Chain A
Amino acid sequence: MQGLTQAELANLIGISRTALSHIERGKSQPSRSTQESLERALNPFLNLIRFRCGEGAVGGAEILQKISAKRGLTYALTLDVPTWLLTRYQTPAAAWAYVLRLQQWVDALTELGVSKAPEAERADLILLRGTTEIMDESTVVQGLRIASVRRVMEDCAELSGRHALDAARLFLAYPRERPSRFRLDPAAVVKVWEDVLWT
């Protein structure tokens, strides 16, 4: 459940723990609004925490690595930075990372002087609520811990815009890692194909 306990999730969507338990075990059907709240609570991209570290995407990722080494907190990068590390195709804009124990990460970053990004300003370090499964599948590339290629590819495809280029580039480099639910943007595929065919 995206690193949430049953009580935390029930609290987030505003229903009792018993009601959530009934939904999980198929004993009752959630109402439309509960269903929407549930989907929202479980989608990491709808519950992100944005920071402005001013060190750029890779600098932000290195800050996470330092905190992880010092405090034993776990993280796994997704989207821009892993794609950059694996393909060098598109410059990264932000360090996106799945983390466990989200509040401890927020506290650690705050202690280091990394503050949350003001509203209406672009963030360069973004935390997402992760799961132990994401952490177990993660690997280290060039000193930074990244989520599995399959997960990164799936996340890139989930978000549109320039992330679609990352999805297409990763697919070209790692076709066997293609996730089961995966839709590539044809225009992104054409651009990536033209760009990397020679190199």
Chain B
Amino acid sequence: MDVNAVVRGISDALGDSLLFIGGVAVEAYVSYRRTHDIDVVVRERDMHVLKSLMRSTGFLHSRTAHLRKDVFKHRERGEVDAYTDRVGDVEMDERFFERAKRRDFAGSSVLVPCLEDLILLKISAGRELDLTDVAVLVFELRGEIDFAAVERRLGADAVRRSMSSLPDHLPMEYGWVSRNKFKRWVSERWP
């Protein structure tokens, strides 16, 4: 299953009309672990392009109405979940595209949310694995993140709550010293 080829194909066909979120976006910033599924946000008006592309490459399409996503599945090539107006509790508007960044993913240039938006999406999803991804992103790239922007979007209290639990989600590969160092940094940044 060549995830990279699927990402490259989608990115080439839709360019700036599609944002990669989820594991692809996290890996475009920090190399860590990811599953083979690909999550994207596409503008409603461009959804037909994605549908045509996926169908022409053998993906089967279905709609998961309660999650407001289109699902494309292929036995060998994996799964692509496409969102338009909403990802979980987060409303996706044009500003996500305006703030998006081009990053390298396995040799391809892909459009991904800016770090602050990616953290917002991950915190809002709120599963253990999402918080692990946020912990890795914040620990590795904390000097580059505009936390005030995250607080404006999510609320200062919600960010403080999430951040205080974050060091415990830092993977063990980083070791105990990193976790303690991270704890100190969080308690100084959000006293």
Contact = CB atoms under 8 A, between A and B. Distances in A.
Interface of A: 45-46, 48, 50, 80, 88-94, 117, 119-124, 126, 159-162, 164-165, 185, 187-188, 191, 195, 198-199
A33 to B, nearest CB: 19
Interface string B1-14: 10000000000000
B86 interface: no
A117 to B, nearest CB: 7
Contacts, number: 84
B174 A198 contact: no
Contact of B79 (A90, A123, A198): A198
B175 A123 contact: yes
List the 5 shortest-distance A-B pairs measured between CB atoms, nearest first.
Answer: A161-B132, A119-B177, A187-B127, A120-B178, A94-B173
15 contacts: A80-B33, A90-B35, A91-B35, A93-B171, A119-B175, A120-B175, A120-B178, A159-B172, A160-B128, A161-B131, A162-B171, A165-B35, A187-B128, A187-B129, A188-B128
A93 B129 contact: no
B189 to A, nearest CB: 16
Contacts of A88: 1, 36
Contacts of B79: 195, 198
Of the candidates B33, B37, B128, the one having the most CB atoms from chain A within 10 angstroms of its own CB is: B33
B128 A164 contact: yes
A199 B181 contact: no
B101 interface: no
Given A90-B35, A119-B178, A195-B35, A162 B173 contact: no
Interface of B: 1, 32-37, 73, 75, 78-79, 127-129, 131-132, 135, 169, 171-178, 181
B133 to A, nearest CB: 8
Contacts of A94: 173
Given A48-B172, A93-B33, A119-B177, 11 more contacts: A48-B175, A89-B36, A94-B173, A121-B174, A122-B174, A123-B173, A161-B128, A185-B128, A191-B127, A195-B36, A198-B75
A162 B178 contact: no
Given A91-B34, A195-B36, A199-B78, A50 B132 contact: no
Contacts of A117: 175
B35 A161 contact: no
A48 B37 CA distance: 31
Contacts of A122: 171, 173-174
A70 to B, nearest CB: 26
